[in-house]
Amino acid sequence: DAGVIQSPRHEVTEMGQEVTLRCKPISGHNSPFWYRQTMMRGLELLIYFNNNVPIDDSGMPEDRFSAKMPNASFSTLKIQPSEPRDSAVYFCASSLDGSTDTQYFGPGTRLTVL
Amino acid sequence: GESVGLHLPTLSVQEGDNSIINCAYSNSASDYFIWYKQESGKGPQFIIDIRSNMDKRQGQRVTVLLNKTVKHLSLQIAATQPGDSAVYFCAEIFSGNTPLVFGKGTRLSVIA
């Protein structure tokens, strides 16, 4: 099992650019969770899905952030336009059926916005 | 690898000694708790969990203790090894299928 796959692993962009982070949950899992990790705020849940439907997006910081689950095996997190304060490590985790107590984390994407 | 938190509390332990990592959780109504380990450049990994109807649970070399009276959780690692060096997070679930709430983390540094 390849586990959760995230791409890219590192992204450096300039302020104002659009950034798209990608996540492939574990095969058979239909619930991706997106987290952001920073030194100041720790690990924060942004949004999670179950069966392609967003269940809780209360952690999404603002309208510049959007997330989709176009199919059962893929999710994206988009930031448009990006700002330096968006610099963080973004993790995708997956669970089998939306259960929040059993999540498997991917390796993360380190985003740097200059 | 990714730097999780340069300002995290740090616990330094001699190899072979036992480690105790503490966590104060926020909600007295939380009914499920998990400890995660995060190594540099990786995502958090599940270590052990405990439900609120228990006060102790043991795994392989790890033990979690729960004190609901003072809202305190601890992770004990026996015979600490260099591979245990990581940041450790506690997480709680308030009830049902609500999202995990993570603590700030503690960095464990094992001295060989």
C-alpha to C-alpha distance for A3 and B44, rounded to whole angstroms = 13
Q: Which residue of A has its CA nearest to B37?
A: A105
**Considering the domain B4-107 in this protein, what is its CATH number?**
2.60.40.10
Mean pLDDT in residue range B20-25: 95
Q: Tell me: the pLDDT tens digits for A13-39?
A: 999 999 999 999 999 898 999 999 998
- Report chain A's mean pLDDT, rounded to a whole number: 93
Confidence class of residue B24 from pLDDT cuts 50, 70 and 90?
Answer: very high
What token pair was written down for B7?
């300002």
Strand partners, A79: A19, A65
For the record, the structure tokens of A68 come out as 């989709």
Prior bond to A81 cis, omega within 30?
Answer: yes
Q: pLDDT digit string (tens) for B67-107?
A: 999 999 999 999 999 999 999 999 999 877 788 889 989 99
Q: How far apart are CA B49 and CA A102, in angstroms?
A: 10
Confidence check: pLDDT of A83 > 80: yes
Q: Give the lowest-confidence range in A69-78, B45-54, B92-101.
A: B92-101
Q: Quick check: B49 contacting A, CB < 8 Å?
A: yes
Neighbours of B51 (CB within 10 A): 12
Question: Touching check for A96 and chain B: CB below 8 Å?
Answer: no
Q: Judge: B2–A106 Cβ closer than 8 Å, yes or no.
A: no
Do B99 and A45 make contact, defined as CB atoms within 8 angstroms? Answer: yes
Q: How far does A16 lie from chain B, in Å, by closest CA? A: 24
CA distance A43 to B97: 18
Q: Which residues of B touch A106 (CB under 8 A)?
A: 43
* Residue B82 phi, psi (nearest 5): -55, -35
Total count of residues recorded for chain B: 112
Q: Which residues pair with B21 in a beta bridge?
A: B75
What's the rounded Cα separation, in Å, for the pair B48 and B63? 8
Indicate the helix (H) or strand (E) that contains A5. Answer: strand A5-7
